[in-house]
Structures are given as structure tokens and as C-alpha cells.
A and B are shown apart, each in its own frame.
Chain A
Amino acid sequence: MTETLNAITVEVNGVPRTARVPARLSLVDWLRDELRLTGTHVGCEHGVCGACSILLDGEPIRSCLLYAVQADGHRVTTVEGLAQPDGSLSVLQDSFCEAHGLQCGYCTSGLLIAAQALLDANPHPSDAQIREAIGGNLCRCTGYQQVVEAIRLAAERGAGKITP
């Protein structure tokens, strides 16, 4: 049995990407295995851990809970799309390095996505709001302490400012 392939066009990190995908291919598998954007990670494939978080039309979602075919016509931002146009680290990424808001790095992409979405909507969040925003991202290394510190630092440094 061959599976029907569906033509899709998705804007990924600002670049239109086209493909023909089987319906059951999840967005995260498409991003990782076909586009080779391996910065987005798979942790549970059932929507709990948040490691696969990406921005869909600017909002953070779990990319394991979306089929790639459903993203047709939409805009996707992955961790690879967070850096500044010249490739240097964003304020948020740099703040994670400064506060050592990560260890093994596996959940980090999802945390960065969640944090960037928070700061975009709320440039000066309280600690409680930071924890709320990352509450759906499980991390086994950090106990969240230095993650919260990194996001707080990023906010202080203006990571939430919409830069032109």
C-alpha cells in the first residue's frame, strides 16, 4: 500500500518550503527528517513534554501534535529561526548562555520558543508569568531555576522588544 502524498507549502523561518508528505507525518518529523532542522527535538510524541515547541503563525504550539499537512499555508518558526539575521545569538539565546539556563540542551529549544513567545507578548513578565509560560516544557536538568533567571535576564535586556 502506498500512502497518498499531499503537496504542502510552509514558510519555515522565513523561507517557503514545499514538499509532498504523507498525511500521518507529524510537523516535527518533517522539520527534522526532511528539512534537517534538527534543533526541534522529540521528547514524548504525545504532547506533554514541550520539547518540540515551535511557533505556528507566531504562537507556540507542540509540533508533535500537528501533522505537517495541516501546516500547509502557515508560517513556522523553529529554534533555528530565533537567531539574529546575521546569525548571531538573539538576546534571549545569549541570556540563556549567560545564566547557564540549560545543561544537556535537549529541552532547550522548546524553552526558548516558549520564552520568546512570552516576551513578545509580555516584555516584562513576573516570575510567576515566566513559570506559567514554561509550565508546559519539562526539563530534567535544570530544575527550571536558571531557566527562569535566563528569561528574567533576557527581559531586562529587552529581548521582548519587537526589533525591526
Chain B
Amino acid sequence: MKAPPFEYARATSLAEACELLRRYGDEAKLIAGGQSLVPMMAMRLLRPAWLIDINEIAALKFVAVESEVVRTGACARQAVLERDATIGVRMPLLKQALAWVGHVQTRNRGTAGGSLAHADPSAELPLVAQVLGAGMLLRSAKGARKIAAEEFFTGPMSTAMAPDECLEEVHWPLWQERRTGSEFTELSARHGDFAMVSAAAQIALDSEGRCVRAALGLGGVGITPLAFPGLTARLVGTRLGENDFEQLAREAAAQCDPGSDLHASAAYRRHVAGVLAARALRAAHGRAESVQ
């Protein structure tokens, strides 16, 4: 399990990374944490001629909690985000999700940006990005553009990024409502494995306990992580109860199109999607309610 030969370039700036991408185009792959890329190369499923290392670009490692958004550099390590106290308070969904991502050793090296760019439909961070409607700032030698998560994820391991583009920043929107609660849960064969199904929910309540905002997402049950803005919009203005969670979860699960594999059939995945969706909504709602 040795990778095929390739050439290595260590980019010292984003501009240099973009220039290398421009030069080598789809002959090149960017490597961030490498926690998915390196195994795929070891199994010779991927054979880039060039590997452009962006791990040494200090400008890609920042975490900035601003008033309306958490901005993270594409190369911010998962463990750094997980340990960030402000993220834990202001964006608990991200912290909750990170606890499910791999293991200590992989989170120390793995990056949030890398996980998004890899776009595994059962991975945790793409689901959070999809649910929150994160924005991706993409950079190429030609300039920058920002696209929303729903356009970013285009299929299994595929994104809207052009071969010469590099993910520069992720903008995770902060909900301003004081009474916001969130939950991330998943079912995997073993802890730390890719999820058979994952669910993320975030709910904001007004002081009367009426829903002012809600988001729900499911991972592992479609070609991309799925969000259900159409369904959750219905909750706004209502007081949520057990029936709402069940009903919404059922409808969300019905909209999923999961595949079958060794560990779970499509029918099982769809069923579990409904179960986890309801659990996530229930727990997120409970957390929002507990904020006085």
C-alpha cells in the first residue's frame, strides 16, 4: 500500500498554491490534513502527479468568531476547532459534530476545510455546513468567489470547485437568537467510523417558546449531505412538540435516497434517518428551551 510516485510542492502562501494549481490543473491535488486523501493514494485509487501541500500556509489556519459568522481558514485543524472555547459556546453544533469525527489522532491532523472539500456524503462536517448554510470562499489565480454549501456539494466526493480552485475560508453562520439549541447525532458501526446515518438540527425559540428558526440535516442518506429548509420553514411561528419532531423526521426521511452497502441497507438507512432526525430535533429543541 505505497502511493504511486508523485511530485511534491509545499506552498508557502495561498497565492503560490493557486499558481501551482493553475500550472498543474487536474494533474494536481491539494493536500490539507490528508486523512482521506493519503489512504486513497495508498490504495492507488487516486494518482495525482503533483501534491500541493497547503499545511504550511499560516494564513489558512485562523479561527475568527465574528458577530454573524465564524470564519475558519481552510487548514484549521479539526482538533483546534474542537478545543476552541468560543466555538463551543457560540456554535455548539460544530463542536458536537467534531466529537463524532474520526479519532483524536485524525482530528489533530484533519482539517475542516479538507473534510468539506473531500465531500464524503456521510461525513460530519459537510452536514454541519449544509445545515447551517455555510459559505465557502474559493480562491484561484483568477480571483475569489463565495458559494453556499448547497451549491458547493454536488455529489459523492464531488464539489463545485474547479480544478484550479482552492478552498480558502469557511463561513459558518451564527444564529443571533439567544435561545438557540443544537444537536448532532449519528449511527455508525463503531464509534469514529463513517456514519451510516447522521443528523444535525438547530432550533431557535423566542421568549415565548415559539420557533423562530429551525434547521435539520441528514448525512449518509443521499449523494450529498441533505438539508430540509422547506420542511423546517413550516415550524417557524409554532410551539414545537413531540408530534412535530416525529412528523418532520418522517417527511425528511421520506425525501432521502440512501444507498445500500455492507453495513446497512437502503431501507434501514431511511428508517434510521427518521429516528435520528427526530432525536436531533428533540434534543436541539430541549437545549433551546433550557436557555432562559
Contacts and interface: CB of A to CB of B under 8 A. Distances in A.
A65 B109 contact: yes
A70 B55 contact: yes
Given A23-B51, A65-B34, A70-B55, A50 B4 contact: no
Interface residues of A, number: 34
28 contacts: A23-B5, A23-B6, A24-B2, A24-B6, A24-B41, A26-B2, A29-B2, A45-B1, A45-B39, A46-B1, A46-B43, A56-B108, A56-B109, A59-B79, A61-B106, A61-B109, A64-B38, A65-B38, A65-B109, A66-B38, A66-B109, A67-B38, A67-B51, A69-B10, A114-B104, A135-B104, A136-B105, A136-B106
B109 A69 contact: no
A136 B109 contact: no
Given A46-B42, A46-B43, A66-B38, A59 B106 contact: no
Interface centre among A50, A61, A117 (most CB of B within 10 A): A61
Contacts of B55: 70
Given A61-B109, A136-B106, A47 B38 contact: yes
Interface stretch (A1-9, A77-85, A97-105, A155-163): A1-9
Interface string A114-142: 10011000000000000011011000000
B88 interface: no
A43 to B, nearest CB: 11
Given A47-B35, A135-B192, A136-B192, A67 B104 contact: no
A3 B5 contact: yes
Contacts, number: 90
Interface string B3-44: 111111010000000000000000000010011001101110
Nearest to B50: A23
Interface of A: 1, 3-4, 6, 22-24, 26, 29, 45-47, 50, 53, 56, 59-62, 64-67, 69-70, 72-73, 114, 117-118, 132-133, 135-136
A155 B53 CA distance: 38
Given A24-B2, A66-B38, A136-B192, A4 B106 contact: no
B178 interface: no
Nearest to B6: A23
B156 interface: no
Given A4-B7, A24-B4, A135-B192, A62 B109 contact: yes
A54 to B, nearest CB: 9
Contacts of B56: 73
A67 B4 CA distance: 13
B145 interface: no
Contact of A6 (B5, B8, B35, B39): B8
A6 B34 CA distance: 19
Contacts of A73: 56
Contacts of A118: 104
Contacts of B5: 1, 3, 22-24
B191 interface: yes
A59 to B, nearest CB: 4
Contact of A60 (B1, B7, B39, B104): B104
Contact of B108 (A45, A61, A70): A61
A132 B108 CA distance: 14
B106 A47 contact: yes
A66 B104 contact: no
Given A56-B109, A70-B31, 9 more contacts: A23-B5, A23-B7, A23-B8, A46-B1, A50-B103, A64-B42, A65-B35, A69-B8, A132-B104
A114 B107 CA distance: 13
B35 A60 contact: no
A66 B41 CA distance: 12
B102 interface: yes
Given A23-B7, A24-B6, A70-B53, A65 B104 contact: no
